[in-house]
Structure 1
């Protein structure tokens, strides 16, 4: 969660610095790097999408 908040904060700064192309690209690069670290830390076997889809499909079966 900390990585996601950091990425959003840096992306916010990127939008502020949009007028300065180099700063924008630097902030965007840092944001993507943090999001990549977050993705790598997630366990693929407990993917949020898989959990959401299986939960949703089990609710449909109950109806």
Structure 2
């Protein structure tokens, strides 16, 4: 019986953290890099992302 696979099957060997981050972005469209932002940066990014989603929701509602 022939097996059929869907999705990504290619395996990549990551030799550094940067390689791993690049692969995660390619597959998941995001990655988590720890200990890069300060606490203040986290607060600012959190606020800006919330504002972005509010704007997105208003735009989606407008086009319904």
Structure with more helix by fraction: 1
Which entry has the higher C-alpha Rg, 1 or 2? Answer: 2
TM over 0.5: no
Question: Per the shorter chain, which TM-score range?
Answer: 0.3 to 0.5
TM-score w.r.t. the length of structure 2 is 0.39
Greater relative contact order, per chain length (Cα 8 Å cut-off, separation 6+): 1
